[in-house]
Structure 1
Amino acid sequence: MYIIFDEQIIDSEEIKDLIEAKSNFKVEKDMCKATKREDVLAYLLTLDVDLIKKEIEEEYDLNGMEMDDLFEEYMQIAEEKAMELEDLMPMYSIMEARSYKWDMSENKIKTVMAVAHTDLGTLRLSDVVKRLLSETD
């Protein structure tokens, strides 16, 4: 899908390929149409829990950690890693990412990410992400 980004047109497929090539995330779904906007890129990303686990093991003893605390830590780290993708996004972009699910059957953390030009504003982008989260599994 093509997105209007300030005065240029961006192919969401190119950004998807860039995310998968330059990070550990896998783009599970292009959600640009679901935003119901012509100026927002959006994706459903997954990140392997084993990659996050290695990072957490350096700081914590996972055996003594409660499942709720572990879940929160996984969500937080996945969101932080998703926000690091902002460096790959077009110039003058704003981004928001929210992790929402630990899919234990696939052992992956699911995250919704949206990107827009700074003119859109963080409040509107936040509303878009909330709407996308309500449409996910």
Structure 2
Amino acid sequence: MIKGFKEFILRGNVIDLAVAVVIGAAFTAVVNSIVSSIINPLIEIFWKPAEDGTIGFPVQGFWGEVVFPVGDLLNAVIAFLAVALVVYFVFVHPMNVMKQRAAAKAGIDKEPQESQLPTEQEILVQIRDLLQQQQSGTAPKP
């Protein structure tokens, strides 16, 4: 059980995932700071903040004015897109390029070329030949 856990932990993708999570969490603080100091003032140009600083659409309700916090939603969306963009271009894309280069260096094709794949007719001929060999009792040819 411990051996299996050790193999799981030492896999490259688990370590890469852990690094991406830590860097993503650290970068989230930077993005939140940028959004609150640059994006929020830009949003406030178009929407007047409520008394409590919430940016959104004020609607008169039964017991007074209610503000739908559109600013919070925009902040969350922008922060998510920024973090996802950085994680993709800093971690995922370079890792994929490295894997492709390593596979090309090793001479491994990800997918066989269409010319290398047998056609449906060739597969059916092979099946027929194997069935005939089984019925006649001869050993199949390699």
User: Structure 2 length as normaliser, TM-score?
Assistant: 0.34
Larger-Rg structure: 2
Q: Which has the higher contact order (CA 8 A, sep 6+)?
A: 1
